[in-house]
Amino acid sequence: MVDFKYYTPTEVVFGKDSESRLAEMVRKYGGNKVLIHYGGGSVVRSGLLDFVKSQLDAAGIPWVELGGVVPNPRLSLARKGIELCRKEGVDFLLAVGGGSVIDSTKVIGYGLNYDGDVWDIYDGKYAPKACTPLGVVLTIPAAGSEMSDSAVITKDEGMVKRGFSSNLCRPRFAIMNPVRTFTLPPYQTAAGVTDMMMHTMERYFSHEDDMLITDAVAEALMRTVKQCGEQVLADPENYQLRAQIMWAGSLAHNDLTGCGTVSDFATHGIEHELSATYGATHGAGLAAIWPHWAEYVLAENPTRFAQFAVNVLGVPNDFKSPERTARAGIAAMVDFYHRIGMPANLPELIGRPATEAEIAEMAFKATQGKKITLGNLKKLDYDDVVAIYRMANKA
Ligand code: NZQ
Ligand code: ZN
């Protein structure tokens, strides 16, 4: 078990009536004037946005609003948000939505505390010293940004998608009402399930083999999400199922399942280019890559992949061959992706094979111009990333 620090400062208010605590939370964390930031309209249609405004109005907390965050959020809108907040004297940011809205909010929070261009943080030219406090009303369990230290944004010029991690941007509170997730389309539900499982898998596939408690938590989380994820697609208004998934999404990415491990996150790095290039839904992109990443790196630690197959996917253990058990696990994962309507390769994700030129460009960007490697289980350079895209490109 490697040494670790576990820091999870976000106050979680969970349950059917949780949104009624909104104004109290904003006040508690120092909000005097609020930016309400949201996406493309789901919160308008569901009435959540009006409810949020009415809660702030009733408490006498002034607000301004900025909607229009798109999935795989853009820097250009965050820049507008920074300008608006400066003009309006906003001191608290409220994200009403999913990972895209929360991440855009985090970028605004960084930008408000820096006089230069906020992209400098993503280019490694500036290390942020502060982030304006933010809170979340979560509408989709997936990215885990409501408790995470990370903010992923796409620069419009060149469509460069990057993440930046720092404890500064962890939300002060997260309000989570599973009822609000009943309206999620099946594809978004399934992509969310895929993403949260992957956040745990990215921490699970490690060379560390002395982390019984972390493994037990991680395996229980993945089994629960897998089971409830399949069931909820047939029963989308089942509160109990939605609630398990919603809480699991936060635990999957608040570092609980990473205590004592060395996390990998290569699949995420490889996927981000699919979102940037094809506008792929993040979770679906992960499903299209993971089986091929797993096949590529399996030899690094077959026993670990076999443990995953047996303890998470219920694959029978072939005691004579961890490799065979591991491969059966990868096949079982592909079956699972297909059962929940997720792709398991690039043609299934984008409707055609990627071209060689696209593969070369995505691998170039993922490795930041061949300057960095991805992952830890096996450190992947540009050529490795090209090889994985090519494996994923076969239908
Ligand atoms: O824009 P609206 O109209 O609100 O629709 C959204 C959007 O189209 C819709 N939606 C959300 N809640 C809904 C709903 N539709 C009906 N009913 C509801 N209750 O769902 C669509 C997807 O929303 P989005 O916020 O994009 O989803 P998600 O939470 O998966 O976020 C994806 C983004 O998060 C990043 C991804 O890369 C991607 O950019 N990630 C952020 C991480 C972090 N900050 O820690 C970690 C992740 O690994 C991930 O990379
Ligand atoms: Zn993710």
Tokens of 383: 């050529």
- Same structural domain for residues 260 and 315? yes
Residue where one domain finishes, among candidates 155, 180, 205: 180
The total of structural domains in the chain comes to: 2
DSSP string, 199-252: HHHHHHSSS----HHHHHHHHHHHHHHHHHHHHHHH-TT-HHHHHHHHHHHHHT
Q: Is residue 142 part of a domain?
A: yes
pLDDT category, 359, cuts 50, 70, 90? very high
- Same structural domain for residues 233 and 156? no
Test site for ligand 1: of 140, 272, 275, 281, most ligand atoms within 8 A of the Cβ:
140
pLDDT in tens, 98-121: 999 999 999 999 999 999 999 999
Q: Is residue 46 part of a domain?
A: yes
Provide the domain limits for residue 374: 183-392
- Same structural domain for residues 77 and 224? no
382, HSE (Cβ side, Cα atoms, 13 Å): 11
Q: What angle do CA 134, 151, 117 make, to 5 degrees?
A: 90
- Same structural domain for residues 166 and 258? no
Maximum C-alpha span of the chain: 68
pLDDT in tens, 252-282: 999 999 999 999 999 999 999 999 999 999 9
Give me the count of residues in the chain: 395
Index of the ligand 1 atom closest to the CA of residue 144: 45
With contact defined as beta carbons under 8 Å apart, do 35 and 193 qualify? Answer: no
- Same structural domain for residues 176 and 188? no
- Same structural domain for residues 90 and 137? yes
Q: Is residue 4 part of a domain?
A: no
Of 156, 228, 162, the residue nearest 192 (C-alpha): 228
Q: Is residue 372 part of a domain?
A: yes
**Per-residue pLDDT, 395:** 80
- Same structural domain for residues 173 and 124? yes
d(CA 311, CA 24): 42
Residue where one domain finishes, among candidates 180, 213, 235: 180
- Strand 173-176 to strand 11-14: parallel, antiparallel, or no bridges (unpaired)? parallel
Q: Is residue 3 part of a domain?
A: no
Decide: 258 in ligand 1 pocket, CB within 6 A. no
In the chain, % of residues over pLDDT 90: 99
- 298 CA from centroid of ligand 1 (Å): 30
Index of the ligand 1 atom closest to the CA of residue 41: 3
pLDDT in tens, 182-215: 999 999 999 999 999 999 999 999 999 888 999 9
Cβ neighbours of residue 76 closer than 8 Å, sequence gap 6 or more: 156
Its pTM stands at 0.97
Residue where one domain finishes, among candidates 149, 180, 211: 180
- 281 CA from centroid of ligand 1 (Å): 8
- Strand 134-138 to strand 173-176: parallel, antiparallel, or no bridges (unpaired)? parallel
Cβ count within 10 A of residue 370? 13
- Same structural domain for residues 355 and 369? yes
Q: Is residue 6 part of a domain?
A: no
**Residue 118: which CATH number?**
3.40.50.1970
